[in-house]
Amino acid sequence: MRIRYGFRIALECATPTPASFAVDVHPSRHDDVIVESPLFVRTKGGQKVTTTSALDMFGNTRRRTVLPAGRTEIEHHGVVRDSGLHDTINMAARQVPIEQLPEEVMTFLLGSRYCETDLLSGEAWSRFGHVPEGWARVQAICDFVHDNVQFGYNFADCTRSATGVLQGGRGVCRDFAHLAITLCRAMNIPARYCTGYLGDIGVPRDPAPMDFSAWFEAYLDGRWYSFDARHNIPRIGRVVMARGRDATDVPIVNTFGPHILANFEVWTDEMTAADRVAA
């Protein structure tokens, strides 16, 4: 399967503003990228804005620049090869004892900005302590979050943490991920936040405008598995861009000063045979 992906964003700044972006396909998927454009960053008048690129502490590609005053347009697109398979399910995957976890995984057991394990530890153990360890416990957490949090784009709030999601019972995909991650970590299951592309491939098309998606990965049986508390079904065609402790580590756009989001478009589609011929 080939998946066509991309985005187009416009930001408006009153003054020159430093910014960073996590918008590239993750390095772990580089071999799957068939073709991709440069990252286009340009002013409304068409002047190119230079960027630098480096890997951050989590192995994500991070772009940096200084956005000029006025409107800046950022665009990137490409085609990635995908297996076309659903997310892996392994009901037999066991929970790894803490003393056997690799050191680099231990970070994903700790509390973080949006994942207050200390505040939700009691809640987690009271709800899931009776569930068998391993895959069944992670799935029980996903079931609980999916059934008790209402999704809506109008519920977006960049200040809402996992505790707020649990108390308010609503949110967007990042909120579903934050609450599930927090409950997993409270149960001694390493969990990390993921952001990327997830189109309506193999499922009915959502009439709402496309957005970037957030899900999480849990560390079981010596490897990371994808889980998605919002959709709570195996999906096809996840294209990860960045991973971290929570959304703090992997913002699509992070400006060091105020900005206005003037335009936002994302697309992710399975390419047909006709598309390939036309390309």
State residue 76 phi and psi, 5-degree precision.
-155, 145
Decide: helix, strand or coil at residue 57.
coil
**Residue 106 sits in the same domain as residue 215:** yes
pLDDT in tens, 133-149: 999 999 999 999 999 99
- Indicate whether 278 pLDDT > 70: no
The encoded tokens of residue 227 equal: 């889980």
In this prediction, residues 153-176 reach a mean pLDDT of 96
The per-residue pLDDT for 279 is: 53
For residue 247, tell me if it sits in a domain.
no
The per-residue pLDDT for 277 is: 47
- Indicate whether 274 pLDDT > 60: no
* Choice between 127 and 206, residue whose per-residue pLDDT is larger: 127
In this prediction, residues 246-258 reach a mean pLDDT of 95
Decide: helix, strand or coil at residue 58.
coil
Average pLDDT over the chain reads: 95
**Residue 119 sits in the same domain as residue 57:** no
Biggest CA-to-CA distance, the chain: 61
For residue 243, tell me if it sits in a domain.
no
The per-residue pLDDT for 273 is: 64
The per-residue pLDDT for 209 is: 83
State residue 144 phi and psi, 5-degree precision.
-65, -50
In this prediction, residues 53-74 reach a mean pLDDT of 96
Say how far apart CA 83 and CA 174 lie, in whole Å.
Answer: 25
- State pTM to two decimals: 0.95
Give the CATH number of the domain where residue 157 resides.
3.10.620.30
For residue 92, tell me if it sits in a domain.
no
pLDDT in tens, 27-42: 999 999 999 999 999 9
The per-residue pLDDT for 206 is: 87
The per-residue pLDDT for 189 is: 98
Range(s) of the domain holding residue 149:
98-236
- Indicate whether 107 pLDDT > 80: yes
The per-residue pLDDT for 276 is: 59
**Residue 109 sits in the same domain as residue 181:** yes
For residue 71, tell me if it sits in a domain.
yes
Domain count, the chain: 2
